[in-house]
Amino acid sequence: MAELRRRALVSALALAPTLALAPRSVRADGVLAIQARLAANAIEVGESVELIVEVSREGGSEELPEPRLPDLAAMGLAVEGPTTNYRTQTSWINGRSSSSVRLTYVYYLIPSKPGRFELPVTLKDGARTVRAPSIPVLEVSGEAPAATATAPEANAKPTDARGDVFVWAMIDKPSLYVGEQLTYTMEVYERVRFQNIHLRELPGFQDFWSEELPEGRQRNELVAGVAYRVHPGLRRALFPQRAGNLRITPAQVGVGLRRRVSGQAIEVEVKPLPAEGQPAGFSANNVGRYQLSASVDRQAVKVGEPLTLSLTIRGTGNIKILDPGAWPELPGFRRYDPKVETQALTGDVIGGARRYDFLLIPEAAGPLTIPAHTLDFFDPSEGAYRKARSQPITIEVSGDPGAAAGAPAGPEPSAPPPPTATDDDLLLAPIYTPDALPRVEVAEPWLTPTRWTLGMIGAPALGLVALGARAILRRARGDAASQARAARQAAEREGIAAAEAAVASGEGFYPALAQLLQTLAVDRAGPEGQGLPRRALLDVLRRRGAEAADVDRLGALLDRCDAARFGAAAGEGKGDRRALLDEALGLLRRSSLAKGRWA
């Protein structure tokens, strides 16, 4: 027991400093507060001002409620934003922690009318309403944009300088007919250079057909003696769709980051199209000045052969919604719905060309006439109705007049009708009805592309091989001179062999050696040496460049052979014959008469 008490005391002593030093969190609900202020208290109409609202809570962890603004729209204040910034802070004082959160809202207010505006900002904290201790007050000076529309003169320019920036709208005519073009131009005048001028709200073109026009260029202009830089805003071609006083609401542009400037509203007088002289069934879309032309791609066709008829309407006006009227009947033709192609030209005046391509199928032979087509339109410049008319076109149709007689002649089918039995019986060749089906067995052709290719390559290849072989043979056989030379060399080799064989016995040695040397002399002397006596032959050899000593040796050898053959040198032994042969061979191989040295 004593042990237990001792342990409890030790634990209590150890825990005491910890408890004493531990921070004590405050779990109170915290205090909610709101502050509101304006970045500037006096501005002009269209300028923006920042309304800064700070919501904070000291202690507590609940989410911060969003501030409540007064009815700004009723005050003519446009609001952008808010942007927010959230901050928390925790502090330690005397061992106690305290935390706070702060949320800052920034609203951008843009007044559209002058006046003094109080801006009470509140918070809802459960059932309790928290109010800002001070109420911001905004003083707005300047002029509000005109609420009523004006009916300006044609192309009226501004006459009064209106501050550092203003928007100006103008029209090219104050009064016009329904469907006639009205050109609307909106420009921004600035005295100082603004970084960012942009269109925030388009003008209201209710009751108008609107087409964009190319914008103008930036320029400088004096307004009541004040220099302005004029920025092109937008240009539109407007086509009023009903009569009466039509209103074009003002455009609004943004200047810089949050400044807004509005233009003026414009009222236009739109007159109805005159009833006098109006063609029956006239379309109010046909206002402008138009011409009409017709052409065909072929003027001579066969029955059933298609051709294209092109009707082109060209001129100025709102050509996109132009009503071409009812197409005339085309007797003798089958006609399909046209393909329509519109090429709008956008300059200062809207216009262009619209082409209708009809596919026509002549169903009867002979000359067929495409009648003229008429387009009624109202010319606003003359204030009267006019007609545009195409020329009639005659098509020469050849072929069997009754060939397409049975074809349906619907007025304007939207697609080619399926062929009828009557039509096809007349046009298509009938089927064949033999008792048995004629057929052919399809065998793989022998001449496949591969075989054909090989055969085509083979013929010239074989020709080339034959040519090559012939050339090789020719080269191997040589010409007549070389063949004769080869024969002489063979005879020389035979002569040497015969002499060699006869050295030992002496039988036929000298005739063989004489024959060898004689052949040598005749060979070296060439054709000139044929049939000459020995001395003359040796002279020829000398003339042909053989050395005199060699020629003399040749002559001496031949004489010695003659002497031996005819008895003058009888009794010579084997050694003498060997020496004689060696001398002859030396003459054959190593003298100026040797084969390699002889020219």
Partner 1 sequence: MRAAFGPGARALALLAVAWVSLAPARARADVVDDAFLAGNQAAAAGEWATAIERYREAEGLLPGRSAVLSFNLGTAYAQLGELGPATYHLRRALQAEAEASGDVAEAARRNLGIVRQRMEVAATTAGAQIDRSESWWELLLAAVAAPLFGWLALGSGWLGLVITPLAARLRGGAAAGARSLVGVLALVFVVVGALHGVALRTQASAPTAIVLPAAAAVREAPGAHRKESFTVQGGSRVRIVEEVPGWSRVRLPGGLEGWLPEGDLGRLQGAPRRRGAPSASRPSGGA
Q: Could you list the residues that contact partner 1 (CB under 8 A)?
A: 304-306, 308, 336-337, 339, 359, 361, 415-416, 418-419, 421, 424, 427-442, 445, 447, 449, 452-453, 455-456, 458-460, 462-463, 466
Q: Which of residues 306 and 408 has its CB atom nearest to partner 1 in the complex? A: 306
Dist. CA 510–CA 104, nearest whole Å: 144
Closest separation in Å from C-beta 222 to partner 1:
56
Dist. CA 14–CA 196, nearest whole Å: 71
Q: Which of residues 148 and 414 has its CB atom nearest to partner 1 in the complex? A: 414
Q: Which of residues 297 and 329 has its CB atom nearest to partner 1 in the complex? A: 297
Closest separation in Å from C-beta 462 to partner 1:
6
Q: What DSSP line would sit under 138-178, residue for residue?
A: EEEES-PPPSS-B-PPTTPPP-S--SSEEEEEEES-SEEET
Q: Which of residues 384 and 466 has its CB atom nearest to partner 1 in the complex? A: 466
Return the HEC string of 30-44.
CEEEEEEEECCCEEE
Q: Which residues are paired to 394 by β-bridges? A: 369
Closest separation in Å from C-beta 442 to partner 1:
5
Query: Residue 176, class by beta-carbon neighbours within 10 Å (0-12 exposed, 13-18 middle, 19+ buried)?
Result: buried
Closest separation in Å from C-beta 424 to partner 1:
5
Q: Which of residues 459 and 599 has its CB atom nearest to partner 1 in the complex? A: 459
Closest separation in Å from C-beta 360 to partner 1:
10
3-state secondary structure of 478: coil
- Total length of the chain: 599
Closest separation in Å from C-beta 473 to partner 1:
13
Give the pairing type, strands 175-177 and 266-271.
Answer: parallel
Give the distance from CA 459 to its chain's centroid. Answer: 50
Return the HEC string of 267-298.
EEEEECCCCCCCCCCCCCCCEEEEEEEEEECC
Q: Which of residues 44 and 357 has its CB atom nearest to partner 1 in the complex? A: 357
Q: Are 509 and 499 in contact (CB under 8 A)?
A: yes
Nearest CA among 198, 203, 167 for reference residue 184: 203
Q: Which of residues 14 and 415 has its CB atom nearest to partner 1 in the complex? A: 415
Dist. CA 245–CA 268, nearest whole Å: 5
Closest separation in Å from C-beta 391 to partner 1:
24
Nearest CA among 140, 162, 148, 154 for reference residue 184: 154
Backbone angles phi, psi at 432, to 5 degrees: -95, 140
Q: Which of residues 277 and 419 has its CB atom nearest to partner 1 in the complex? A: 419
Closest separation in Å from C-beta 480 to partner 1:
20
Q: Which of residues 282 and 336 has its CB atom nearest to partner 1 in the complex? A: 336
What's the token pair of residue 98?
């305290």
Closest separation in Å from C-beta 460 to partner 1:
7
